[in-house]
Amino acid sequence: MQKTIFTLLFISLHLVIYPQQGRKTIDMDHSWQFARGTHKDAINPNFDDSGWQTVNVPHDWSIQGRYNRNNLTGRGGGYLPSGDGWYRKSFTLPESDKGKKVLIEFDGIMANSEVYINGELLGIWPYGYTSFLYDMTGHIRFGENEANILTVRANNIDQPASRWYTGAGIYRHVRMIVKDPVHIAHRGVFVTTPKVSKSRATVNAAIQIDNTTDRNRSVTVHSSIIDKEGKTVRTASSTQRIGAKASQLVEQNLQVNDPLLWDTKDPHMYQMITRVLDGKTLLDEQVTDFGIRSIRYNATKGFFLNDQPLKMYGACMHHDGGGVGAAVPSAVWEYRFNKLKEAGINAIRVAHNPMAPEFYDMCDRMGILVMNENFDTWEYAKNAHDYHLYFNEWWERDTRAMVLRDRNHPSIVLYSVGNEIRDNLNNEDGFRKYKQQQDLIHELDSTRPVTMALFRPNSSGVYKNGFADMMDVVGQNYRPGELLEAHRQNPDRIVIGTENIHDLESYLTLRDHEFMCGQFLWTGFDYLGENVWPRISFGTALFDKTGGWNREGLLRKAWWGSEPTVSVVRRSDNAGAGEWVHDWTPLDPVAYDEAFLEIYTNAEEVELFLNDESVGVFKRPDNHAPIPVKVNYRKGELRAEARTGEKVVATDVQRTAGFPYKIVLTPHKTTIGNDWEDVSIVRAVIVDEDSVRCPNAFHLIEFNVEGAGELIATDSGDQYGHEPYISKERSAHMGECVAIIRANQDEGTIKITARAEGIEGIASAEIRVE
């Protein structure tokens, strides 16, 4: 590959009229035929699939199944079903596309995929989290009467294969791309911002052009920077001769005056529009979203964003969305990210695999920093059928795919090449396996450092054998005291807590040490799997699967949140027994005598009242520890008033609930579009006559949806809940559950109703579709 750097040339691309479009991107999400089981005959283009189910993708068929203790996925997979799944889709392409490149791109297939076109194998891809693309050009039949058959196998037969829920099937988006033979390479635009200040920024565009023809071609490459208002900020143009069957890397530097910088509070985004022209004929065009920002890491001062010190207040997140499984609409991520931000979270570690592209798009738009991680295991097996079977042959392709796909996201500030790797890191082979990944990432993206989440480093010897000093950033899971000692031993080490529990020691480790870049809590949301039957989800997160506050979230809001806050939680059973709950309605009030409380606040002091009588005034400790209080339970109202400077800045009021009286429905969005990515999460809460939530109500709630939408899933925060998610019924947990609604028409109104036996009346809510 040749490399040429061109200087800036100002032009007005808006004045150019292109006679044709060189690239077509065709949505391939709709109208697939699907069947579970092994159907190798389906590879044959003439196979009759009329008896199969018609589905749209993204499609996770495992989440549609039933929980069973004997399911082979086991505790890691959440006891949901596994097996073989086959998909087929018919499509045509016009004769006018003959001579162009025809590509098929999958954002992710879980797992061990096989893809065929017209009976010919395009390829296999074991890792279900990788996005990949195949060239179908040589196998396509052109013409309106010539059907092409795309066949996909998603093989999840061998289990257990994961320590958490994976999903199954074509669970991310699919698209077909038709390109001119001279085109921008796949993932061929890399936008960086090597120089950034408030007054001026340099934007570098590295553009790889492929010429797949058998003759030399001369093309013009145009780049335009577009701001959020649609205004062209800067343009560049250069002409390049590309040899036959060759690739050319073109670099263009564009200066932006008074740039709007991307940061966690104001995540301003730009677009780079890249066009390749032959004269006035448009051969190809690509739009790349990017942000203008700088990052740096310092062993003494920690992490800097745009030359300002910033602690990463992070949470780890698995890829499932609760009741929707692994096929997660963007609106679910948006909902979850807003909840995380309420708790003070500004960073996410993807655990422990690349997410769907829309996940990173949402992080970009919402100003959330990301640690992007590729693997949970290398050669050491954590499960009999996990990635250790493929690491040696596939690590390079999977890591390359992750970096090339994700490197334009301003939200990504750090790469990780492994989580709690159990391979021997005290020998040459262990050093090699880490360094080969770090070196590859540096080659593909030199703008971000690399880490990994070390597992018991004192036992593995990595702080003494030179391994840790090979890492750009030293990341460690848990045991924060060891990480502090590692930095004391070598103050040149840049350190970060890659996985931490919700305890005071971990909090103080970050708060009191300037050199700590950040921490990532385990976890942000409860996730499916990694628990022992009858539990089906992991449950020590900031939020439950539906976005309900856990005790850990209320505590974290007091530690990391930016708004004044106070919360009072109690042990659910008498005399300090049971779980932490956020209510004043014990299950057995007769036996509940002594309430053990904890108060979480970021104010100077809290006064606690029980039925308007002061229990006492409690100062916030210097170490910000929870404030323990014991009170004798009395029915009525428990109120906490948080004060700073003698002014009440936050309150928390809990009242004893009476008998269940009605259901209240609250959509998290009252307007949605007719788009797979857009949903509204409707929370159903059982309340008494005074609208107090009834935490001891576990009624079976029946949802009905009419009008311009449909019910796609129900869910609750119950870790023991075995009810199917694709159902209009869901038992309330602690008085609550949710229904997830999607539009199926372009406009209109969706009416949701909810009823439960033993509760009078029918609750209703409406959502507009626009």
Residue type, 501: I
* Torsion sign (Cα): 452, 456, 460, 465: positive
**CA distances to 78, 156, 325 from 159, in Å:** 12, 7, 18
| Residues paired with residue 752 on neighbouring β-strands, in sequence order | 705, 765
Q: Which two tokens stand for residue 563?
A: 């708004």
Question: Do the Cβ atoms of 765 and 665 come closer than 8 Å?
Answer: yes
Asked if 292 and 261 touch (Cβ cutoff 8 Å), the reply is yes
* DSSP assignment letter at 622: T
- Specify the 3-state DSSP secondary structure of 321: coil
- CA gap 84, 109 in Å, rounded: 12
Contacts for 8-15: CB closer than 8 Å, 24+ residues apart: 8/234, 8/236, 8/252, 8/253, 8/254, 8/255, 9/235, 9/236, 9/237, 9/238, 10/235, 11/222, 11/235, 11/237, 12/232, 12/235, 13/222, 13/224, 13/232, 13/235, 13/273, 13/275, 14/232
Residue written as token pair 């565009």: 205
Tell me how far apart the alpha carbons of residues 582 and 717 are, in angstroms, rounded to a whole number.
Answer: 14
Q: CA-CA distance, 140 to 157, in Å (whole number)?
A: 31
Neighbours of 122 (CB within 10 A): 20
Residue carrying the six token digits 């003698």: 646
Strand runs (DSSP E) across 374-494, as ranges? Answer: 412-419, 450-454, 474-477
Q: Is the peptide bond before 232 cis (omega within 30 degrees of 0)?
A: no
DSSP codes of every residue in 199-265: SEEEEEEEEEEEE-SSS-EEEEEEEEEE-TTS-EEEEEEEEEEE-TTEEEEEEEEEEEES---B-SS
Per-residue burial over 416-431, b = 16 or more CB atoms within 10 Å of its CB, e = otherwise: bbbbbbbbebbeeebb
First-last CA distance in the chain: 48
Neighbour-count burial for 491-530, b at 16+ CB within 10 Å, e otherwise: eebbbbbbbbebeeebbebbbeeebbbbbbbbbbbbbbbb
Q: Which DSSP state fits 276?
A: E
Residues identified as active-site: 420, 499
CA 386 from centroid of its chain's CA atoms: 21
